[in-house]
Amino acid sequence: MNIHTDKLGKVNDDFEVLTLNKNNEYVAKGFPIGYDNKEFGASSAFAQLKENIITFFKNILPG
């Protein structure tokens, strides 16, 4: 579910299953935004971080 929703009350039907691809999208979009270093998104450190997160989520997400 998008955390920036204006919906109120029962929102259970708006939840989505977290998949590896969806998580990868969130990581690719979210991590560079939080850094003052504009080069971070293209750095080898970010590439390694993404690989580490992918490996972690492969171990905990179903299928």
Q: Is the model's pLDDT at 46 over the cut of 70?
A: yes
Task: State the Cα–Cα distance between residues 43 and 35, nearest whole angstrom.
Answer: 12
Q: Give percent of the chain above pLDDT 70.
A: 89
Q: Is the model's pLDDT at 30 over the cut of 80?
A: no
Extended beta strands in 1-63, E state: none
Token readout for 28 is: 């690719």
Q: What is the pLDDT of residue 35?
A: 65
Q: What is the pLDDT of residues 2-27, one digit of tens each?
A: 777 888 899 889 888 888 888 888 88
Helix axes 20-33, 44-60, angle to 10 degrees: 150
Q: Is the model's pLDDT at 48 over the cut of 80?
A: yes
Task: State the Cα–Cα distance between residues 3 and 15, nearest whole angstrom.
Answer: 10
32 falls in which pLDDT band (50, 70, 90)?
low
Q: C-alpha distances in angstroms, 33 versus 7, 19, 29, 30? A: 25, 22, 7, 6
